[in-house]
């Protein structure tokens, strides 16, 4: 097992400088900014803590935020540069301990399971990873259940090297005899050597051919969201969703916003209501639908409030007439882009704050039942 010590004060071994002194520059980014002159070096020992729950009873709640401040340790696990998007965030129906992006802008998800074996949660995490076209999923737990370990190993064996799965066990060590502790990451499951040496997170997707239809569709989505980001910088464009007819962005407790080309060729801008509970999704849609005329006036968009029987989710959508993106003229294509940018901005401006607030309120009400 690989052990990674998560501290912010570790220094690398001393090296002689040109004047015969020593260089004791700290190894972590934060510590480098507060480097101090070398002093006497005292070597101690690290001891594993067996009563982790007694020493750190709130590990499950605290760890995601702590890792977001020490993301370089996760970079060591996955083998590439990461940019933190948020900690303890709801992505669709899955609460993710940490969401980051790699060098290509693809999602990296860190999911914490400190209850033991939650295979249903693992399935939801995989659905979330598929929706975001994630390049890596890191599963954190005190101890990896054999079922979870087998599932992660199987996924690494059966999937290509453009997506990787890691199982990490979290422990705690005491620093010497002091009352100072540090988390430890033990990588229990990782891709094979070929996957790890194929390159860092953010490797080429050339091994997965993209259909011509989806190439032009995803190109269109990229242009739309780039234009949206110019006027609404808070809306970040996600990574490319290869071989899918849709893309999601601006996730929140209600679900996410999205662009989709339906099977009939229509382009759809939608607020997908998928907060993890079908009942809450329906309640949220009904709350919004009750004042549908208000939202139509506020957005200036012809909105459809749609229940999706059998899917668990609901949506609030606007549609553009069908267009064949493979044969569309440049003028037709630009018309679609202009419509989509205006519609995303108008719907987001009108409803996003209310959707987030009402979804959070519904979750709070349910928690008191």
Look up residue 322 and give its DSSP letter. Answer: P
Distance CA 73, CA 231 (A): 35
| Shared domain check, 72 and 98 | yes
| Shared domain check, 187 and 115 | yes
**Average pLDDT of 230-235?**
90
Asked if residue 39 belongs to a domain, the reply is: no
Look up residue 304 and give its DSSP letter. Answer: E
Distance CA 342, CA 351 (A): 14
Asked if residue 32 belongs to a domain, the reply is: no
Is the pLDDT assigned to residue 28 strictly greater than 70? no
pLDDT score for 178: 72
Provide the whole-model pTM.
0.50
Query: 112 forms bridges with which residues in the sheet?
Result: 140
pLDDT score for 206: 40
Asked if residue 87 belongs to a domain, the reply is: yes
How would residue 242 be classed by pLDDT, with cut points 50, 70 and 90? Answer: low
pLDDT score for 39: 46
Proportion of the chain above pLDDT 90, given as a percent: 28
**Average pLDDT of 287-310?**
93
The encoded tokens of residue 22 equal 């020593």
| Shared domain check, 219 and 154 | no
The overall longest dimension of the chain from CA atoms, in Å, is 78
| Shared domain check, 189 and 78 | yes
Q: Return the CATH number at 322.
A: 3.30.1460
Q: Look at residues 187, 178, 122 and name the one whose alpha carbon lies nearest to residue 151.
A: 122
Asked if residue 21 belongs to a domain, the reply is: no
Q: Which of 136, 168, 197 is the last residue of a domain?
A: 197
pLDDT score for 300: 96
Q: Return the CATH number at 118.
A: 3.40.1350
Asked if residue 30 belongs to a domain, the reply is: no
**103 or 18: which leads in pLDDT:** 103
pLDDT score for 42: 56
Residue 172 exposed, middle or buried by CB count within 10 Å (0-12, 13-18, 19+): buried
Distance CA 250, CA 271 (A): 10
| Shared domain check, 184 and 222 | no
How distant, in Å, are the alpha carbons of 39, 134, 268, 320 from that of 226? 52, 20, 17, 19
Is the pLDDT assigned to residue 301 strictly greater than 90? yes
**Count of domains observed in the chain:** 2
- Domain that includes residue 99, residue range: 2-8+44-197
């Amino acid at each position: 097992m690989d052990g990674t010590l998560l501290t912010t004060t570790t220094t690398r071994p001393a090296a002689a400088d040109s004047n015969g002194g020593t260089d004791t520059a700290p190894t972590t980014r934060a510590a480098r900014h507060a480097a101090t002159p070398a002093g006497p070096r005292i070597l101690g020992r690290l001891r594993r803590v067996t009563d982790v729950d007694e020493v750190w009873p709130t590990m499950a709640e605290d760890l995601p935020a702590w890792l977001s401040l020490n993301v370089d340790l996760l970079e060591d696990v996955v083998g590439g540069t990461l940019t933190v998007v948020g900690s303890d965030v709801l992505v669709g129906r899955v609460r993710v301990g940490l969401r980051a992006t790699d060098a290509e802008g693809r999602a990296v998800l860190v999911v914490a399971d400190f209850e033991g074996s939650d295979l249903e949660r693992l399935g939801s995490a995989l659905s979330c990873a598929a929706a975001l076209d994630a390049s890596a999923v890191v599963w954190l737990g005190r101890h990896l259940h054999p079922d979870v370990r087998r599932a992660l190993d199987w996924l690494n064996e059966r999937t290509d090297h453009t997506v990787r799965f890691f199982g990490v066990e979290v422990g705690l060590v005491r620093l010497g005899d002091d009352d100072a502790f540090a988390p430890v990451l033990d990588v229990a499951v990782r891709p094979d050597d070929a996957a790890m040496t194929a390159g860092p997170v953010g490797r080429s997707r050339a091994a997965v051919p993209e259909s011509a239809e989806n190439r032009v569709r995803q190109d269109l989505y990229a242009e739309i969201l780039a234009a949206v980001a110019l006027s609404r910088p808070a809306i970040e464009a996600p990574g490319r969703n290869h071989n899918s007819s849709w893309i999601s962005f601006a996730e929140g407790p209600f679900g996410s916003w999205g662009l989709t080309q339906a099977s009939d060729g229509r382009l759809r801008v939608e607020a997908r209501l998928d907060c993890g509970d079908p009942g809450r999704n329906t309640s949220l849609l009904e709350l919004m639908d009750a004042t549908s005329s208000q939202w139509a006036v506020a957005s200036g968009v012809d909105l459809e409030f749609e229940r999706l029987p059998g899917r668990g989710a609901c949506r609030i959508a606007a549609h553009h007439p069908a267009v064949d993106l493979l044969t569309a003229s440049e003028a037709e294509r630009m018309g679609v882009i202009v419509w989509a940018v205006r519609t995303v901005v108008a719907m987001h401006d009108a409803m996003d704050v209310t959707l987030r607030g009402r979804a959070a309120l519904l979750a709070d009400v349910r928690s008191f039942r």
